[in-house]
Amino acid sequence: MPLGAPPDRTRWRRVIRAVLLLPVMAVALVLALALVYRAVTPPSTLMLGRWATLRPVAREVVPLAGVAPALVQGVIASEDQRYCLHDGVDWDALWSVVDDEDGPSRGASTVTMQTVKNVFLWPGRSYVRKALEIPLALMADLVWGKRRTLEIYLNVAEWGEGVFGAEAAARHWFGKGARDLTRGEAALLVAALPNPITRNPRTPSRGLRALAGRIQGRMAGLGGLSTCVRS
């Protein structure tokens, strides 16, 4: 009888080794992609899903300099006013909703967390996804930095059925490039972000127009582009 461990034990050791290697491989893959995405703007998982099901996608990648400053201001003012101050995760906002019985809220999500969700994770609300967003956001803030993270966000955010990124959104809703958006148009686009499929920036409802007005007020409070995203 040959020496060595019994076949069943050897098989289980291989299975356990493979299971333990999976998270290591996943981390290595995400880090490798993050390094690539420092230079190459990625698609979002929603875009990949549409391509996989042969549905159309409108997206034209533009640099941050190709986006109207008002839209950059609007995103920070509405989505993450502490964007330049945190490390990818706004811990104070996150702890404030930990006990929310309705589940994770968008209010606890920084722009960085929304970006990694769009690029690496799936849509929907769950504690599992939120838990994954946190280390991914910390990694993205370190690897991409503030300016590149916001640039990626503005090129992957969904702004309508099959409409992704600021350039496609500006052309779809207002017939102009993202660089030429007015403050009012930029505020309407930002106001549509939480529900981009049901909100129409071109013919806004009274509620959407009122929300856009409040966003413009917050934009004025910023006093210009935040220093961490200036070129």
Q: What is the mean pLDDT of residues 64-90?
A: 94
Across the strands, what pairs with 58? Answer: 163
Q: What is the mean pLDDT of residues 187-193?
A: 96
Element (DSSP H or E) covering residue 27: helix 7-36
The pLDDT value recorded for residue 122 is 85
| More confidently predicted of 103 and 186 | 186
3-state helix, strand, coil in the chain (%, to 5): 60, 0, 35
Rounded distance between C-alpha atoms, residue 10 and residue 53, angstroms: 42
123, 84 Cβ separation under 8 angstroms: no
pLDDT tens digits, 13-35: 776 766 666 677 788 888 999 99
The pLDDT value recorded for residue 221 is 80
Name which of 4-8, 30-34, 174-178, 205-209 the model is least confident about: 4-8
| More confidently predicted of 129 and 208 | 208
Q: Comparing C-alpha atoms, which of 83, 52, 56, 213 is closest to residue 149?
A: 83
pLDDT tens digits, 91-125: 888 776 654 544 444 557 899 999 999 999 988 77
Residue that is written with structure tokens 């993050």 in the block = 34
Q: Comparing C-alpha atoms, which of 147, 120, 122, 125 is closest to residue 135?
A: 120
| More confidently predicted of 231 and 104 | 231
Provide the whole-model pTM: 0.87
pLDDT tens digits, 129-149: 888 999 999 999 999 999 999
The pLDDT value recorded for residue 137 is 96
- pLDDT confidence bin for 1, thresholds 50/70/90: very low
The phi, psi pair for 188, rounded to 5°, reads -65, -40
The pLDDT value recorded for residue 102 is 46
* C-alpha dihedral, 153 to 155 to 159 to 160, nearest 10°: -130
Q: State the CATH architecture for 41-229.
A: Orthogonal Bundle (1.10)
**How many angstroms separate the most distant Cα atoms in the chain?**
83
Write down the mean pLDDT value for the chain: 87
Long-range interactions of 175-178: CB distance < 8 A, separation 24+: 177/62, 177/66, 178/62, 178/66, 178/67, 178/68, 178/71, 178/154
The pLDDT value recorded for residue 143 is 96
